Amino acid sequence: MIKPHGSKALNPLYVEDDTKREDLMKEAESLPSIIICSAAAGNAVMLGSGYFNPLTGYMNKANALAVAKDMRMTSGLFWPTPILNMVENPSAVKDAKRIALLDPNVAGNPVLAIQDVEAIETYTDDEMKMMTEKIFATNDPEHPGVKAFNTVGKTGIAGPIQVLNYSYFVTDFPETFRTAVQIRDEIKSLGWETVVAFQTRNPMHRAHEGLVKIAMEAVHADGAVIHMLLGKLKPGDIPADVRDAAIRKMVAIYFEPNTVLITGYGFDMLYAGPREAVLHAIFRQNMGCTHLIVGRDHAGVGDYYGAFDAQAIFDGITKDDLQIEIFRGDNTAYSKKLGKVVMMGSVKDHTKDDWVFLSGTKVREMLAAGQDLPPEFARPEVAKILMGYYQSEAAKK
C-alpha cells in the first residue's frame, strides 16, 4: 500500500483513548482559551484525521513563509500551503504555554483541541501579501480564498495540537465523513491496490462520472474514492447534504457494485487552484490512494487560473516529494457522435455541435424552473435531487 506523505505510518492527532481524551477535556476547562477561525478549525480537523500527516500542529512563521515561497518547510519537507492558526487578537492567551482552542462552527464553542504554544508571531503586511500571492496567485480581495485568508487576523499561534473532536462533521455527515485512517483501513480491507481519488465540491454530472470511469480504466484501478469537501464554500455553491445525496444516487445506479467508496473530509475550500491541487494530492496519498484525478480548473474559481494550471504545477514535483500519481483529465463531455462521455482531447473529428454542453447558469435556471436536464448531461435521478434543491431556493426569494 502507498506510504503516507513524509513518514512510514500515519500520525493522526486525534486523541483516540477515551480516558485520556476526557482528562484533556477537563484540563481544557482550566486553560486560557480562544475561539479560532473556521480555517484554523478545519486545519485542526484535518490534522486530527491524519490527512495532514506528518505535521504535528500549526506552522510557525519561518515554516509558513518558506512553504508559501518554495513549497518546502525549513526541515525540507515538501508542503504546498501554510497550515496556520491565525487570530486577530491573541491577548486572551498571551504568555500561555498551553491553550484550549474553541470551535467557531458549533453552538456554544466547545473545545476542539489543546495546543502547546511554541510561538505567537505577527505577520507584516508585506509577509501577508507575499503569502497571499504565492498561495492564490493573486492579491485580488474579490477572490474568495484571498478574502478569507486576509480577514482572520495577522497573528499566528504556532505549536503542536491534540485534537479532541471532529467538529460538526461527524454529527452532520455520519455516513460520509471519514478520517484518512478510516479510508486507508477500508481500502486495505477491500484488497484494493490501485485506487483513484476524485475530488469534488459539486454534484457529479455525466462528465464527472465519465471522467472517474475513464481514469479507473486507464490506470486499471481496483476502485475509486469519491472524496467530497464537507466544509464551508463560497456563496452559491450547493450545500454538502444535497451534493452527498446526489452523488450517492449516481453511484448506486451507474457504477459497478463495490468499486466506489463515497467519503468526505472536514475542511473549508481554499479556491487556491494549483497550490490546493497539490494539497489535495498529499492528503489523498495519506488516505491510501495511488492516483488523484486533476481535471480542468481543479480547485479554481472565476478566471484566476488557466484551465490546466493545476496540472502543470505537478511537472516540477518529483517522486521524492510526492508518491501519488496524477491522472490528468481533459475537458470531458457527452459526444453525440459516439453516444458516450469522452475526454474531448481524445477525439479529433468533432465540431462544437457534436457535444452536449450546458453552462452552470443555464443548469441552475432550468432546475429552478422545474425543467428536465438533457439525460446526456445529467442522470435523471441526480437531476431530480438537484431540482428539488433549486426549486426550494427559488421559493425563498
Q: Which tens digit of pLDDT belongs to each residue from 90-132?
A: 999 999 999 999 999 999 999 999 999 999 999 999 999 999 9
Q: Is 88 inside a domain boundary?
A: yes
Per DSSP, what are the bridge partners of residue 66? none
Which residues are CB-contacts of 109 (< 8 A; sequence separation ≥ 6)? Answer: 35, 102, 103
pLDDT tens-digit map of 232-291: 877 778 888 899 999 999 999 999 999 999 999 999 999 999 999 999 999 999 999 999
User: Burial level of 259, CB count in 10 A (0-12/13-18/19+)?
Assistant: middle
Is the peptide bond between 54 and the residue preceding it cis, with omega within 30 degrees of 0?
Answer: yes
* Same domain for 201 and 160: no
Q: Does any domain span residue 35?
A: yes
For residue 329, the model assigns a pLDDT of 93
Q: Which domain covers residue 298, as residue numbers?
A: 171-396
What is the count of structural domains for the chain?
2
161 lies in the same domain as 184: no
Over residues 60-65, mean pLDDT:
98
Q: Tell me, yes or no, whether 95 and 191 share the same domain.
A: no
Q: Look at residue 293 and tell me if it is in a domain.
A: yes
Q: What's the chain's average pLDDT?
A: 95
pLDDT at 395: 83
Asked if residue 44 belongs to a domain, the reply is yes
- pTM attached to this predicted model: 0.94
121 is written with which cell numbers? 508571531
Examine the fold and report which residue of 168, 197, 218 is the final residue of a domain before the chain moves on: 168
Residue at which a domain ends, from 136, 152, 168: 168
Residues 118, 189, single domain; the answer is no
pLDDT in tens, 160-193: 999 999 999 999 999 999 999 999 999 999 999 9
Are residue 129 and residue 146 in the same domain, yes or no? Answer: yes
Domain match, 190 and 142 both: no
> Is residue 3, in this structure, part of any structural domain at all?
no
Hey, which residues are catalytic here?
A: 201-202
In this structure, is residue 292 part of a structural domain?
Answer: yes
Among candidate residues 168, 195, 221, the one where a domain is terminated = 168
Given this model, what pLDDT does residue 396 score? 83
Within a domain: residue 145?
Answer: yes
Same domain, 162 and 204: no
What are 35's strand-pairing partners?
Answer: 102
Claim to verify: residue 188 and residue 308 sit in the same structural domain: yes
> Domain with 153 in it: what CATH number?
3.10.400.10
Asked whether residue 304 falls in the same domain as residue 383, the answer is yes
130 and 187 co-located in one domain: no
Residues 6+ apart with CB under 8 A from 281: 292, 294, 314, 322, 324, 326
pLDDT in tens, 193-239: 999 999 998 889 999 999 999 999 999 999 999 999 999 877 778 88
Q: pLDDT tens, 14-59?
A: 999 999 999 999 999 999 999 999 999 999 999 999 999 999 999 9
Buried b (16+ CB within 10 A) or exposed e, 202-224: ebbbbbbbbbbbbbbeebebbbb
Q: Is residue 7 part of a domain?
A: no
Q: How far apart (Å, rounded) are the C-alpha atoms in residues 179 and 185?
A: 10
Same domain, residue pair 22 and 44: yes
Tell me how far apart the alpha carbons of residues 323 and 5 are, in angstroms, rounded to a whole number: 8
CATH number of the domain that residue 323 is part of: 3.40.50.620
The verdict on 217 and 348 lying in the same domain is: yes
How far apart are the C-alpha atoms of 299 and 262, rounded to whole Å? 19
